[in-house]
Structure 1
């Protein structure tokens, strides 16, 4: 896997592109001279966790013939200083799924994703605890 980053301005704004060809903007916070022109790198990690687990969950539930009519995810994290870095200490994921879904199947799909399939979760577990809640609406 390869990604490329190209600096867009004279500060911290970069455009990143992966093998898919889709561009993502990355920028630093205004506190350090960024311009809010993109996501922060640590935000991207949390987005990656949400996206990775969502893909797993959808694949698992589709195999079980569960119909998902909507799917939202909220990810919150707390960080702690370790040396000069600020790493994730705890992550809370809240899944909001819509449709005529079996709650036991949804829970099992989430467990399988976070404990077995999601590579991003596997990486983040090295420094953080990951807890989740879910709700089914509609």
Structure 2
């Protein structure tokens, strides 16, 4: 896996993944794009969401969409690392089983999500979920 980050101007940078996808980041208070720390938070949510969706699909759950709301707390001072991250998964669908959702979130947290598991070595990561059963 590889990536490249190129300075644009001010504190704005363009990161390009080895697979050729680009994303803009802004180190100036996230005025023009997500900050690098916001990207870390979003990466954790994206990685976990991939797992949860995949596991629920394999369990043949009738899921319409999945959202994850992330709340990250950072240390005072420098470096302002994450100290706590809470992920709330909101699952929308029809007759979605709570047991399957609980299992999917736990498997992501404990076994599959590389980003969260890596961050969990130094950050307190917690999870919750809500199921919105649609008619």
TM-score normalized with structure 1 length: 0.89
Q: Which runs of 5+ in 2 are unaligned?
A: none
Q: Counterpart of 1:16?
A: 15
Q: Counterpart of 1:88?
A: 82
Structure 1 stretches of 4+ with a deviation exceeding 6 A read none
Q: Which runs of 5+ in 1 are unaligned?
A: none
1:5-84 maps to which residues of 2 (within 5 A)?
5-9=5-9, 11-30=10-29, 36-81=31-76, 84=78
Please point out which of 63, 84, 92 is paired with 1:98: 92
In 1, are the aligned partners of 2:74 and 2:84 still within 8 Å (CA)? yes
SS at match of 2:37: helix
In 1, are the aligned partners of 2:24 and 2:33 still within 8 Å (CA)? yes
SS at match of 2:104: helix
SS at match of 1:57: helix
* Count of aligned pairs between the two proteins: 132
RMSD value over aligned CA atoms? 1.4
Q: Which has the higher strand share?
A: 2
**Take 2:80 and 2:118, find their aligned partners in 1: how far apart are those partners?**
16
SS at match of 1:39: coil
SS at match of 2:80: strand
